[in-house]
A and B are shown apart, each in its own frame.
Chain A
């Protein structure tokens, strides 16, 4: 079957760095998305990786290794507003978008 695994919950300290991992097993691969979702709000787009390597966008970076079926989202200089769930999603071979259950990130002062 197809599935995406990511940790259920993580805790980090304001100002620190946190890495949220995502592993996937899908029938084919066409790209990987990261979305941010604050409580009781809609998901919003963070990043899209198609090729191996690191994509940096301000305080957020996303890494992809297609051979390992692995990605991570790196958040630097954590702020309280970064407390949210982070959703990993993969576009499979037939362009079906498969979602992970999300990682709830708790930021402590």
Chain B
């Protein structure tokens, strides 16, 4: 049982480059989320998707974009990376956005130089 798979697990990236973090779940969950986690701060929501075909902005969406072409996949793209986007990124899913427990991927550690 895989749950949620993220790739890559770690990446060093030059500023200005484009980067896509991949996220795939096999639980048929409707809702999916992208968070960033920085030292001393709580998880901050970047973008979310309540169901395939729909997306929404979270707390810190600037500089990021997402798509939800199907139920399983929810990639996060940094169009032109900046050093402030250095962080650990977690993808998560839940059966129901309103009340469901979140299941997290293992995280992608991104360093932008």
Q: Which residues of A contact B (CB under 8 A)?
A: 4, 8, 30-31, 33, 35, 40-45, 48, 87, 89, 91, 95, 97-102
Are A43 and B40 neighbours in the complex by a CB distance under 8 Å? no
The 10 closest A-B pairs by CB, nearest first: A99-B42, A42-B104, A99-B43, A95-B98, A101-B42, A45-B101, A43-B104, A42-B106, A100-B42, A101-B41
- Chain A interface SS verdict (over half): strand
Inter-chain contact A31/B42, CB cutoff 8 Å: no
Is B45's CB within 8 Å of the partner chain A?
Answer: yes
Q: Using a Cβ cutoff of 8 Å, how many contacts connect chains A and B?
A: 45
Question: Could you list 9 examples of A-B contacts with CB < 8 Å?
Answer: A30-B98, A40-B107, A43-B43, A43-B104, A44-B104, A45-B102, A100-B42, A101-B42, A102-B42
Cβ of B22 within 8 Å of any chain A Cβ, yes or no, is: no
Q: How far is the CB of A66 from chain B (nearest CB, A)?
A: 16
Query: Is B107 touching A42 in the complex (CB atoms < 8 A)?
Result: yes
Q: Could you say which of A4, A30, A44 contacts B99, with CB atoms under 8 Å apart?
A: A30
Interface string of B96-113 (1 = CB under 8 A from A): 011101111111000000
Which residue from A30, A87, A91 sits with its C-beta under 8 Å from B43? A87
> Which residues from B are CB-within-8-Å of A99?
42-44
